[in-house]
Amino acid sequence: EQEEPELPQITKELQEVKQLVLKQETDASTDQESDFGEAEPNTEQIYSQNLLVAEIRDQGGNDSSVSENPIDTDTGTSVKCSLCGKSFWNRYSLKRHLRVHSGERPYPCKTCGKRFTDTSGLTKHMRIHTGEKRFSCDICGKSFSECGNLKVHKRTHTGERPYPCETCGKSFSQKSALKYHMETHKGDKMFSCRTCGRNFNHSDSLLKHTKTHAGKTATCQTCGKSFSENHTLNVHMRTHTGEKPFSCKLCGKRFSQNSNLMSHKRSSHM
């Protein structure tokens, strides 16, 4: 009769395999991840991940947060997070994603101490300290530290607005701008003025409003109108002086405020 293998040995081998998975994650190139999603796996990556998962399962390994579906070598999309249902190319990507739920941030910045869930996030963050801007706009030459920021910037040249509001149809160049805009369609206005009780959709709108209650210390010496900020007074003074410091480079028309110039460009030259 054959002796059953000792459980401690199985556990030890399982830990070694899991450590190998973690090491692969740590050593993974940061260039394999795009700005907007998981990197597509190559054949070698999928084969390696399948082999590791097979070894773990053969030795009785189990992770309650991982779907029981095997990795699909054709599509690489059958590994799912049982906590939120999101699918990933491989088990490595899933393990990294699970840190979103656990809050684990094992990669600290040695300069400021901020921590990150993966090495790619740390690498991008380090550019803040180094000042490195690897991504340049081929139209105007402006440089950016991240490729995603360059993509958003280029929309100012192309006019692309890929994020439409399903309620009113207005489109935006950034997803964050759409999210901000969507607050205007909500019935509940979450930010209330403690002075007059007026409600607002956005905190910055409330902040701007509260200044109307503050002491208006900036007074126009020409007409006596008062303002809460010197900047607003300076803009107002142009109505008396006729100053128009903002000019259109295409037609030469001048404006007293930059916002009026931008409106002119959109309506006349786009």
The pLDDT, as a whole number, for residue 189 is: 65
The pLDDT, as a whole number, for residue 15 is: 56
Q: What is the dihedral of CA 45, 48, 49, 52, to 10 degrees?
A: -160
**Helices 7-27 and 91-102 meet at what angle, rounded to 10?**
90
CB distance 70 to 78 below 8 Å: yes
The Cα 151–Cα 147 span in angstroms is 6
User: How many Cβ atoms are within 10 Å of 167's Cβ, its own excluded?
Assistant: 11
The pLDDT, as a whole number, for residue 123 is: 87
The Cα 162–Cα 175 span in angstroms is 8
The pLDDT, as a whole number, for residue 24 is: 47
pLDDT along the chain (270 residues), means of 10: 44 51 46 41 44 42 45 56 86 86 90 88 86 88 87 90 87 87 74 78 81 74 81 88 89 88 84
0.75 exceeded by pTM: no
Give phi and psi for 253, each to the nearest 5. Answer: -65, 140
The pLDDT, as a whole number, for residue 108 is: 92
Which helix H or strand E contains 116, and what residues bound it? strand 115-116
The pLDDT, as a whole number, for residue 214 is: 73
Domains along the chain with CATH numbers: 41-127 (3.30.160.60), 133-214 (3.30.160.60), 218-268 (3.30.160.60)
What DSSP designation does 249 have? T
The pLDDT, as a whole number, for residue 76 is: 47
The pLDDT, as a whole number, for residue 9 is: 46
The Cα 29–Cα 1 span in angstroms is 49
The Cα 159–Cα 177 span in angstroms is 15
